[in-house]
Amino acid sequence: MRALANWVMAGRSQAALVIACAMFLALLLPPLMFVSGAALALVALRRGGGEGGLVLGFAAAGSLAIAWLLFGSPGPVLTVLPGFWLPVLLLAVVLRASVSLAVATLVAVLLGWVAVLGFHLLVDDTAAWWLQVLNASIRQALGEAGMDSDGMVAVDEILQFLAPLMTGIVAANGALSALLALLLGRGWQALLYNPGGLRREFHALRLGRWPAVVMMALLATVALAHSPFAGNLAIVAGAAYVLQGLAVVHGLVGLRGMSRVWLVALYLALLLALPQVGLGLIALALVDAWADLRARVRRPISTERRDP
């Protein structure tokens, strides 16, 4: 990773090449999209938004040319540019100016909320729109795979449940993807110029009490009024609180000097039972908003070290 980060910082053409190539390779191996965003974030974090914008312009122009040659159309570039690259660039500029992962995370949530609001303004019945899209893709694919009628009934019930929430799910995925690319870029920056910097920043990530109040108000609105719009906003905010929950666990493991096996187990559980573990992390993050669990663990340790 150090070699790749060094190459990105060697010049505009090298950075643009990494951004564009990683984006096209992500069509075959999707996680490489984070490499594309991280390269952009690294340039913006180190050299500013102006330089990041220039590099992005070169990468976008080259990607458009390649897409026309390969596909005869702009292809994925028109989706990646506004939906991923520009948010990553904006978050990198915010992080550079604020030197706060919490501020950058909250800005990512606001971007997700803007996307949710914009989609609700453009589409009269978002649930019906998503149900049509899901039926045209998932249901058709399962039908071609030979699923029986009982199975299709169960799938229809799942799609009916998901359709009203899909706007929030997609927006949350976009916000979280941009944040993960930002974190990877910040990690590269720390690797080159500030060893251990990302670890300290991430372990200290705490969104604050007022955002937690807003999150709980959204959850209460969903529970009491059954509002799909509030549910979509809560899903986007929930992605940020999952990230804070992970930061709390990482911080506690680091403060207590515990084995990293605990972190491996956490991520495996997150992969196997995302909804349940994700809700647990959100609850942990909301408790941390008032209890500041890492500070509570840190104080006894500091006191013990001062005792003779």
CA distance 219 to 230: 8
Tell me which H or E stretch contains 259. Answer: none
Look at residue 154 in the predicted model and tell me its pLDDT: 79
Looking at residue 279, its amino acid is: L
Give CA separation, 100 vs 181, 202, 205, in Å. 16, 10, 8
Asked if the structure places residue 149 within a domain, the reply is: no
Which among 106, 21, 82, 88 is positioned nearest to 52, based on CA atoms?
A: 88
Asked if the structure places residue 38 within a domain, the reply is: no
Asked if the structure places residue 131 within a domain, the reply is: no
> pLDDT, tens digit, for every residue of 86-126?
999 999 999 999 999 999 999 999 999 999 999 999 999 99
Asked if the structure places residue 233 within a domain, the reply is: yes
Q: CA angle, 299 as apex, 293 and 301 as ends, to 5°?
A: 110
pLDDT band at 308 (very low <50, low <70, confident <90, very high): very low
Look at residue 148 in the predicted model and tell me its pLDDT: 64
CA distance 6 to 80: 24
Asked if the structure places residue 127 within a domain, the reply is: no
Look at residue 303 in the predicted model and tell me its pLDDT: 46
State the first-to-last Cα distance of the chain, in angstroms, to the nearest integer.
44
Residue 73 DSSP code: S
Asked if the structure places residue 260 within a domain, the reply is: yes
Asked if the structure places residue 211 within a domain, the reply is: yes
pLDDT band at 25 (very low <50, low <70, confident <90, very high): very high
Contact 232, 112 (CB under 8 A): no
User: Residue 270: which domain range?
Assistant: 204-303
How many domains does the chain divide into? 1
Asked if the structure places residue 90 within a domain, the reply is: no
> pLDDT, tens digit, for every residue of 242-285?
999 999 999 999 999 999 999 999 999 999 999 999 999 999 99
> pLDDT, tens digit, for every residue of 169-220?
999 999 999 999 999 999 999 999 999 999 999 999 999 999 999 999 999 9
CA distance 300 to 144: 61
